[in-house]
Structure 1
Amino acid sequence: MGTEGGNVRVIGGRYRLEARIGRGGMGVVWRADDTLLGRQVAVKELGVDETLSHDEQRQQRERMLREARAVAQLRHPNIIVVHDVIRDEQHPYIVMELISGGSLADRIARDGPVDAVEAARIGLSLLDALRVAHAAGVLHRDLKPANVLLEAGTGRVVLTDFGIAQVEGATTLTETGGFVGSPEYTAPERMAGERAGAGADLWSLGALLCTALAGESPFRRDSLGGILHAVVYDEIRPPAAAEPIAPVILGLLEREPARRLRLDQAERLLRAYVATGATPQPAVPQAPYTPTRPDVPTVPRKGRSTRVLLVTAALVAGVAGAGIATAALLAQRDDNSPPGPASSASESSRAPSASPSGSASPAPTVTVTRTAPTPSGTPSGTTPAGYRTVTDAKGFSLRVPDGFTRSLDGPRVFYMSPGNTFRLGIKVAADAGDGPGAAQRQAAEDGPKNNPGYRDGSVVDTLHKGHTAALWEFTWNGFSKDEGARRTVDLCWEQDGRLYDVWVSAPVGRAGEARGYFDTAVDSFVPSAHK
């Protein structure tokens, strides 16, 4: 991989890997020299599951790069800066700022627990970071002391290692049945294999604060099964040192997501403690965890206890050497309801959108199976629960959520949720010769004309299944006050002389859920004929 110079590798034609400084489940982290800009950086070499087929590995790499680019759009002092996302000899890499200083885990191991004031300071910094990530529909999914850096000299708190981050709607289990995240910091709803929202990251923050104050996680046990049982069932007892901010910790460690402390509530309580030194008191009764931006909510699920036991058994069996892949099947919801009704809205001429005026029932849990297209022109593999495979007369096949209905607008095809809250759009056209990058940049230039309140637009050149592609993302205001702010994600790629364009549009507060629909549609898309 890369250019070899003695024992030194150079990737991307500019990053010289100098020393390995970390290793985790998602890859290896290197200290590197950016020879173009003359600066030190950190380079994360993402690992790929070698047990997958060649096509599945390729799709996994593309998914990693796509999600890494989403994280690269995040800008906040408490979030690691991503300088570059590259592929070198088919291996994906993330180039990040190099933080001088160790992790919170290192500090605890070296100096012991922190006091309540320092824990509150760290907690506030992480809440600021999560607010930005969640507003963009990005969940961290592995918030723990080892992934929190403390910059030497400044004390800046930096949330890093978004290596397993995904958009809202991901489950705890990977496509091959593996466990995603660190069990001691994983929320109960994710243990149950449920579709988890921003509240799962807040649970992890509560566990992290306990660890910072006590020196170890409150859910540490001698076995994986013991950890899973502790997270889901055991009485939660914060350490005595946590008493000054106990209402925050207990609120974050509320097992039922609907009753869990919201991000804004936790921030208000911690700021009150830092300002006064007095233990903050939450409002009584505690406000429910409801859909308010920037939080992305989770919804209570039925039958959690049974599913947790099944998932626990499968995971423990996997550790013992038995087939863990069955966990993905055991974790599926038993109420695969589609998104609920909402008000309809009109579309822009380039990236369609619609917005709800009311609530919606939870989207179904999706266990996406990455498979290569079959020669017949339809997606291969088992269609995930809550989805169906459609073969469209416009010349393509893909998977769409149950309950989405088809409509036409000139050359564009839409698959829309009830009430048009979510819209999947597809357009197939001849390539005029400029390619997807030029097409997307022209569309972005026309964004203010076609999309009221157009902002935060970005176009990134990328690859899709080996084809030249460009990803366009932006926020806008919708066509009426009732719609509210919306987020659109649009991938365009060239294949066999044609441009294929797939996009999704949704309310900003549900951008993560929409991204799940988008990823499934893009990953399963197969051209069937030229129409």
Structure 2
Amino acid sequence: MATAGETGGDLTGALLGGRYRVTGEIGRGGMGVVCRARDEVLGREVAVKVLRTHTDATAPESADLRVRMQREARAAARVRHSGVITVHDVIEQDGRPVIVMELVDGPSLADVLAERGPMDPREAADTGAKVLDALDAAHQAGVLHRDVKPGNVLLERGGRVVLTDFGIASMEAPGDDAATTLTRGGELVGSLDYMAPERAQGQQPGPASDIWSLGMTLYAAVEGASPFRRSSVYSTLNAIVTEELPEPRRAGALTPVLRALMHKDPAARPSAAEAREMLQAVAAGTEPAVAQPEEPVTQRLASPDNGQPPQRRRGRALLAAAAAVAVLAAGGVAYALTSGGGGNDTAASQPTANEPSSGTTADGSTRPEQNAHRGRGEQPSGPHKPGHGKRDGHPAGGTGSATPPGSYKGDGPPPAPCRSADAGKYDCTTWRSAASYDQSGARVGTLHAGGNYFYCQADLGRRETSGRWTNTWWARTDDDSGHTNVYVSDVYLKGGENDKPVPGLPTC
């Protein structure tokens, strides 16, 4: 029979605290193993969360995990609401804390999305309104959840929606702030995909941070993918902090609510009560009362009217993201790019907003629509066609060849647009979202704009064209739709020339 100390294996059959008999495993996260169990005293089924053993963990790290589990129980128990998981008991087994909770009869939102695909906007709005009801109660009780995501929203079969996993919650506790706040200087905790921009920059979170995370959750629920997911931590942080929300395609009446929930400025987001009313209106089929927020600072910086060339504007945006990365590097990172809490929090991979429109060329290759999604005066500093030398509408000097925005003007040869990263990867920048294809040429997904990693590039003999740029070379990468070892046309990578490989990226 398994013992509670063997949390790396199957706990089925173990008796915890002399009372709770484990009958099966539900899921695993970075902190604990969640199992189904039977309370042999009261004769009811419960869920138990047992601290996982980490053989390479230091004593302080193990102690920190124990404190986190104790805080999780305290935070959840502090909020009295039907939409928050009920904690029955906290016990110890083999020196490790065990949280005994109600067993919710139903899957997580992440499970539902993985099985069914995107939700109807009204259904998503109804689910979100119920989560906001629970968040409102938590915020009034002085509790911030800080990890709202599809994997932490449980859908009971009777229609009840339950917010669970308060493992990284913070609580207002006068005189005990150091013991009840999980964020230390230079450290971020939580799932990166659903993290608010102020948290990504190391700022103090507040109730508005939970509102953002729920907005991200609902966006993923209706659109099929997290809006700012990219192929690396750096590019994901850059997107969260600086990029505009991709225009929803399936959200319908939910669209203005999503924009309000995910405003870059936390002060401009609605409260939990206000957001709940908006979502209830969408769920009921009526017009939500959404105030038009002011244009966020990041959008003003990216405006083509501010007198800066496109490359310069993007450089400033990347500096903002670099500051966020510095926060992560400074104090030891505690985050999960995908699942950090035992559930699958990645929605079903579906095409997302900002995909290139496409048609078919004479040779059968895909041809994205010219000038699609390009801002006024904006051009990629990537493969360009000789003889069309313009920059922001002005002729380039002398040579008759294009001068990409932000071209290198220093002494010596310009730096390669792609740079070696680690583990055989190379960091390059894609100037707009691009379709990804398998080696046979079948379209499979999408790669978003921004910094992305690539493995190598090859001349596959298929030409892709976008506006004035064209190329037969293709870069191999992992796209943002969950596909690995797929190809994106070099026409979308910054740097290089027509029908030539992009400098700095090796050939396959």
Structure 2: distance between partners of 1:272 and 1:266: 10
User: Among residues 92, 100, 111, which one is paired with 2:105 in the alignment?
Assistant: 100
1:483 aligns to what?
Answer: none
Larger of the two Rg values belongs to structure:
2
Q: TM-score, normalised by structure 1?
A: 0.52
For the Cα contact (< 8 Å) 1:172–1:193, is it kept in 2? no
Q: Quick check: 2:12–2:24 contact (8 Å CA) kept in 1?
A: no
2:130 counterpart (125, 134, 154) = 125
1:261–1:19 distance in 2 versus 1, CA, 3 Å: same
Change (3 A) 1:38 1:173: closer
Q: Is the 8 A contact 2:76 2:86 kept in 1?
A: no
- Residues 88 and 306 (structure 1), Cα distance of their counterparts in 2 relative to 1, 3 Å cut: farther
Report if aligned partners of 1:172, 1:191 keep a CA contact under 8 Å in 2: no
How far off its partner does 1:250 sit?
Answer: 0.5
Partner of 1:280: 288
- 1:194 aligned residue: 203
Name 1:325's counterpart in structure 2: 331
Instruction: Quote the Cα distance in structure 2 between the aligned partners of 1:305 and 1:225.
Output: 9
Segments of 5+ residues of structure 1 without an aligned counterpart are: 289-302, 319-323, 329-531
DSSP-derived class of the 1:240 partner: coil
Kindly indicate whether residue 117 of structure 2 is the aligned counterpart of residue 112 of structure 1.
yes
Equivalent residue for 2:232, pick from 199, 219, 223: 223
Query: In the alignment, what sits opposite 1:161?
Result: 165
Tell me which amino acid in the other structure corresponds to 1:274: A
Deviation at 1:326, TM superposition (A): 5.6
What's the secondary structure of 1:121's corresponding residue? helix
Paired residues for 1:247-266 under 5 Å: 247-266=256-275
- The 3 A distance-change label for structure 1 pair 242 and 90 is same
CA contact (8 A) 1:17 1:33 kept: yes
2:168–2:182 Cα contact (<8 Å) kept: no
Cα distance per residue 1:223-277 (max 9 Å; x no partner): 22221111111121242211312221101101111111222221222223333x2
Match of 1:31 in 2: 36
Q: Does the Cα contact within 8 Å between 2:260 and 2:269 map onto a contact in 1? A: yes
Q: Tell me the SS of whatever aligns to 1:211.
A: helix
Q: Which amino acid aligns with 2:143?
A: V
Matches within 5 A, 1:289-328: 308-313=321-326, 315=328, 325=331
CA distance in 2, matches of 1:311, 1:200: 16
The aligned counterpart of 1:334 is: none
Call closer, same or farther: CA 1:28–1:307 in 2, change over 3 Å. Answer: farther
Structure 2: which 5+ runs fail to align? Answer: 297-315, 335-508
Provide the residue aligned with 2:470 in structure 1. none
* Percentage of identical aligned residues: 49
Determine helix, strand or coil for the equivalent of 2:267.
helix
Residue in structure 1 matched with residue 50 of structure 2 by the alignment: 45
Q: String of CA shifts for 1:125-168, please: whole Å, max 9, x gaps.
A: 0010001111111111111111111112x121111111222226
Q: Do 2:76 and 2:84's aligned partners in 1 also have CA atoms closer than 8 Å? A: no
**Structure 2 length normalisation: TM-score?**
0.54
Give runs of aligned pairs for residues 412-451 of structure 1, distance below 5 A.
none
One-letter identity of the residue aligned with 2:203 = E
CA distance, structure 2, for counterparts of residue 176 and residue 26 of structure 1: 21
* Counterpart code for 1:156: R
Which one of the candidate residues 16, 21, 37 is aligned to 1:16? 21
User: How many aligned residue pairs are there?
Assistant: 304
Name 1:204's counterpart in structure 2.
213
* Alpha-carbon spacing, 1:72–1:6, altered in 2? closer, same or farther (3 Å): closer
- Tell me if structure 2 keeps the 8 A contact 1:184–1:219: yes
Contact 2:83–2:131, Cα closer than 8 Å, also in 1: yes
Q: Secondary structure at the match of 1:254?
A: coil
8 A contact 1:192–1:304 mirrored in 2: no
* DSSP 3-state at the match of 2:251: helix
- Contact 2:200–2:237 (8 Å) recurs in 1: yes
RMSD: 3.3
Deviation at 1:3, TM superposition (A): 9.3
Residue 45 of structure 1 deviates from its aligned partner by 1.3
Query: Which amino acid counterpart does residue 325 of structure 1 have in structure 2?
Result: G
What displacement does 1:196 show?
0.5
Once the two structures are TM-superposed, the CA of residue 12 in structure 1 deviates from its matched residue by: 1.1
Partners in 2 of 1:6 and 1:42 — Cα distance? 13
